[in-house]
Amino acid sequence: MVKVLFVCMGNICRSPTAEGVFTQLVKQARLSEQIYIDSAGTHDYNLGKPPDSRSQVAALKRGIDLSGLRARQVTQADLTEFDYVLAMDRANLKSLQLLCPPGQEHKLHLFLNFAPDNDTQEVPDPFDGENSGFKHVLDLSQAASTGLLTEIRQRFQLRAR
């Protein structure tokens, strides 16, 4: 089983959106039994809370239900357990690097590094902005998730079941 963890600061906007988008792609590819997906935050101020309502509304417009997700904080054990730990921006990547056990650094990536033809490396935090920011997070997550799934399928030679 390939394990993928999406990480942002509070785990209520960007990382649950990325989790939802990637989960949808994995289901469509019939790979759900082979890829485990989760999300977490580098900070603990939203523990147990559902995703931001604006994230949920934007995602539902694309057929993605985030309502069952709950915020949690990333742990050092996550960095050992997961095959891919995907940060939404450089600040969260730095936090993950500081937490990361020796020998696990190769698992840490900026999520948008998997987006082909993308000229930005960071998913902007939409929390303090307009609703259009949540749509933008979905668009970026879609592009990066597509590239990520291609990479995982090739690396692990996964086939639909």
Give the per-residue SS3 of 95-144: HHHHHCCCCCHHHEEEHHHHCCCCCCCCCCCCCCCCCHHHHHHHHHHHHH
Active-site annotation holder among 13, 14, 54, 78: 14
With beta carbons less than 8 A apart as the criterion, state whether 125 and 14 touch: yes
Taking the model in full, what pTM does it have? 0.98
Query: Domain ranges in the chain?
Result: 2-156
Q: How many CA atoms lie within 13 A of 53 on its CB side?
A: 0
pLDDT tens across the length of the chain (161 residues): 999 999 999 999 999 999 999 999 999 999 999 999 999 999 999 999 999 999 999 999 999 999 999 999 999 999 999 999 999 999 999 999 999 999 999 999 999 999 988 889 999 999 998 889 999 999 999 999 999 999 999 999 999 98
Name the CATH superfamily, with its identifier, for domain 2-156. Response regulator (3.40.50.2300)
| Residue 1 DSSP label | -
- Rounded to 5 degrees, what angle do the CA atoms 134, 114, 59 make? 25
Judge whether 125 counts as a catalytic residue.
yes
Active-site annotation holder among 38, 52, 78, 125: 125
Task: Report CA Rg, the chain.
Answer: 14
Segment (H or E) for 12? none
